[in-house]
C-alpha cells in the first residue's frame, strides 16, 4: 500500500503497448501514455516493418490493414520520447515493455536513449499485495492485467479489442486500488 501511494505521489505516466508478435521479433503496433489523472498524452497506432501475427490480432484486434496507414516507429518515437523522459513511468510488466521498445528500435537501427530505471512495474505490486503462491512453481501467483483488476474488485469487463489507452487507464485504477484496498480509490 505504501509503495503504491509513493508511486501515486510521483504523478506517474502510465504506458501500455500492443505487439505485432511475441518474442524477439515483435514490434510495437500501438502505444498509449496517460498522465497521472488518466488523460491521454499519446494514443497512436504504429505500422510495424513485419506483419502482425493473426494470433495477436485475435487478442488486441489490431490488424495489418488497420495499421497500414499508421506512421512507422521512427516517426512515432520522437513524439513518445519527450512524454517519457524525466518522468516516473508505470507499465504492467517492465521487462515486456522495455523489450518491445528495444526491439522496435533495433528493427530501424535506432539507439534507445531511454533509461530503463524509469519503468516501474505494477505486476509485482499486485503479486506482493495478494501474496498468493503457486503451489506447483513455489512462486507468487502471476496475474495478468485483466485478472489483477478483477482480483482487486475493479469492474473490468472482459472486452476484446480494448485499446492500449483503455489498458493504461486500467493500470492507473489498479494502482489507485492498491494504494487504498479498503474501498475508495486513493486520492491525495
CB contact at 8 A, 66 and 45: yes
pLDDT tens, N- to C-terminus, the chain (188 residues): 888 899 999 999 999 999 999 888 899 999 999 999 999 999 999 999 999 999 888 888 899 999 999 999 999 999 999 999 999 999 999 999 999 999 999 999 999 887 777 788 888 888 777 665 556 655 555 667 777 777 777 765 554 557 898 889 888 988 998 898 765 544 44
Q: Give the chain's domains with CATH numbers.
A: 2-178 (3.30.420.10)
13 Cβ contact partners less than 8 Å away, ≥ 6 residues apart = 33, 34, 35, 36, 41, 83, 84, 87, 88, 89, 90
User: What's this model's pTM, rounded to 2 decimal places?
Assistant: 0.84
CB contact at 8 A, 45 and 29: yes
Amino acid at each position: 500500500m505504501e509503495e503504491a501511494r509513493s508511486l501515486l505521489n510521483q504523478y506517474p505516466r502510465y504506458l501500455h503497448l500492443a505487439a505485432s508478435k511475441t518474442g524477439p521479433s515483435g514490434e510495437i503496433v500501438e502505444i498509449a501514455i496517460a498522465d497521472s489523472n488518466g488523460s491521454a498524452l499519446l494514443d497512436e497506432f504504429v505500422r510495424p516493418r513485419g506483419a502482425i501475427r493473426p494470433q495477436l490480432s485475435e487478442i488486441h484486434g489490431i490488424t495489418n490493414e488497420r495499421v497500414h496507414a499508421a506512421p512507422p516507429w521512427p516517426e512515432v518515437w520522437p513524439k513518445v520520447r519527450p512524454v517519457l523522459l524525466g518522468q516516473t513511468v508505470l507499465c504492467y510488466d517492465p521487462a515486456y515493455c522495455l523489450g518491445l521498445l528495444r526491439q522496435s528500435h533495433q528493427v530501424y537501427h535506432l539507439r534507445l536513449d531511454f533509461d530503463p530505471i524509469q519503468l516501474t512495474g505494477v505486476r509485482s505490486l499486485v503479486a506482493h499485495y495478494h501474496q498468493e503462491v503457486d503451489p506447483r512453481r513455489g512462486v507468487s501467483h502471476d496475474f495478468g492485467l485483466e485478472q489483477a483488476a478483477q482480483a482487486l474488485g475493479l469492474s473490468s469487463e472482459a472486452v476484446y479489442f480494448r485499446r492500449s489507452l483503455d489498458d493504461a487507464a486500467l493500470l492507473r485504477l489498479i494502482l489507485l486500488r492498491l494504494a487504498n484496498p479498503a474501498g475508495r480509490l486513493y486520492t491525495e
